[in-house]
Structure 1
Amino acid sequence: MRAAASAQAAAGEPFVTEPVAYDAILLASFGGPEGQDDVIPFLRNVTRGRGIPDERLEEVAHHYRHFGGVSPINQQNRELKAALEARLAERGIDLPVVWGNRNWDPYLKDAFAEAHERGFAKLIAIGTSAYSSFSSCRQYREDYALTLDATGLDGALEIDKVRQFFDHPGFVQPFLEGVRDALAAFAELGHAPENTRVLFSTHSIPSTDAERSGPDGHAYERQHLAVAEHIMSSLIPDATNTSDDIAATAVPAWQLVYQSRSGPPTQPWLEPDVNDVIAALPGEGVTAVAVVPLGFVSDHMEVLWDLDTEAKETAEEAGLAYRRTPTPGTHPAYVDALIDLVLERRDGIPVAERPSVTDLGPWYDTCRPGCCENVRAGFKPALCGVAP
């Protein structure tokens, strides 16, 4: 463990059950452009170190150009920050929230500087990604370490993080409600369960990253599949109910799909692609498809473009009824879940008392050795975990 961990976490145990007197919450996110002039500089930040010329970046900028150069993610984080602050006040919890992004204003360095200026020394970080992989966990931890060194605040700030929250009931609840609503709407339109498909969609990642996600490998896929299975199992009618409407509430088939691939064609990424699956559904007798953005916490660009634009168009071309279910956003259950995750660490809640809806959780407080390696770049210093 780096010295930047709290004393309670510095030993590197998987779970920290000693109370920690945190001064503030660090809300950490990806960031996004907020105007046409921001798009290329933002993409340079995202792809830094890869030597991609601006001409190539412009080819992939059309998603942002389509929306006026504005990613919705920053506004969504402003709303989440405000919702957290309001709910913390309602619950009588005195923990300020500072916000910083990895790739755009306000940067993590700005959040670290703000925390230091306000006299905060112990931060508990919430990364706006629920699953285990390099890009959704370790890269955040590497950026914490890099930013701490760059700001000269190593030794002045201690930073821990909440566990990956993929199976916390408050994160899962909005998705469960969305699937229920979508299937009810399809039923009203006359689409039978056997003619309906539920696709749980998440960001594709390189296959090598997926193989090394989590301490034992393949955690990224396993976590998504476990949550999706929980959601669909929750929709199964009570076996003790013998009423005639059980057939009408049968659960349709489902599968995990991937989206937003950005690597070269020669590099294997997780498949199948959501559009390829949708296009093939009519041949399987499907007439309606619900797409669940299970890998995303809010309606940012990958949701608005890849699902609300491209996947919707693919469904229309295939003659399918289409619904995209909501992301957690600022759903009250999700906001409370994030606060409860902070309180787990602040109060040293025993592992047996931490909620999870799958057999995989609750996940580790302290990331394990070798967790979520980036094969292309190798291990870099990272906070909130055991080296490397």
Structure 2
Amino acid sequence: MPTKSTPGPLDGIRVVEMGQLIAGPFCGQLLGDFGADVVKIEPPGVGDPLRKWGQPGYPLFWELLARNKRTVTANLRTVEGQDIARRLILGSDILIENFRPGTLEGWNLSPDSLREANPGLIVIRVSGYGQTGPYATRAGFGGIGEAMGGWRNIVGEPDRPPSRMGVSIGDSLAATFACLGALTALHHRNKTGEGQVVDSSLFESVLHVMESLVPDYAVGGYVRGRSGSILPGVAPSNVYPCKDGYYLIAANQDTVFARLCVAIDQPSLSTDPRYATHEARGEHQKELDALIEVWTRQYTVDDVEAAMVTAGVPAGRMYTAKEMLDDEHFKARESLIEVDHPKWGKLPMQNAFPKLSDTPGSVRRLASQSVGQDNREVFRELLGLDDAAIDELERKGIV
């Protein structure tokens, strides 16, 4: 079972999640981690495709993204299934969906009709291009949003094609902005009683973390491109080779750079006109990195880390999951927790985040282990159905 249980600040908020894969479900997970009662609707029989995502033999995406949720089934291509969804939604505070725009409307579940019956309802809509505009009805996965939002074009080495991060960052960003929208909409509803629609697109979620990429071009004609492991003009800030691995050093502020120069036994570099200012270091970025590399290659990662910690220089190791599980800071912060799982045994995963001092989030419920696992509990509790009615819905393939 989960290691710790607290009600959470969203206790009493009910969420219906109709999304699938990552963008919608991650938003639901975030809300659930902080106490919301999340009821996830899946197609009967097959469920969310995310149930099968992961490494071969280890489909573990589901265990994280479906935690703190109750799962039910409803065939939304039938009138009876749509009625089940409508009844659940009308008794809830928030609806999350990440289907292509128009899908809800095609199921007779348009936000307008839902909000007419439940004026306080907040509808979270996550999609590739948003609910409006000429591209709205196009299919869009996270990678497409990363490309359109500007991310993919600047990731990778300059002489190679655009690359990607090893995670679905576009989906996760859209889900996080959707969660932000849900919370701000809840605050508005607390003041006015009125719900609203939150429109979180993949491409705009990526766009919003692209810093000054657009004004750089609009004002100065500068097109940011792929720069490998550096940020052009920000130096020194790079990954440097050591005897036994790589180590990240970020000493681009003047005072920090001066401390780095002492640590690498070259104190005069901090007053050298080529490196004394932020602008100068940016202009001589390659040669400065080469000088630092000469020093790091002489030492192990442990040696370099000890020198950086002593000097007060921001720096860090290249962590994998193994280092995260072994690291004392992760343990002290409870950044990772361990849950008792019926299939996977002691299963580590990220803790609820961010940390709240008085009303922290928690993992109260494991991800469901079968499609429709909570049908009877939810349908009895929220819809008032008895076993005979649920049996009939199952017989007809509605749930």
Q: Which has the larger radius of gyration?
A: 2
Specify the TM-score bucket, using the shorter chain as the normaliser: under 0.3
1 or 2 for the larger relative contact order (CA 8 Å, sep ≥6)? 1
TM-score (norm 2): 0.23
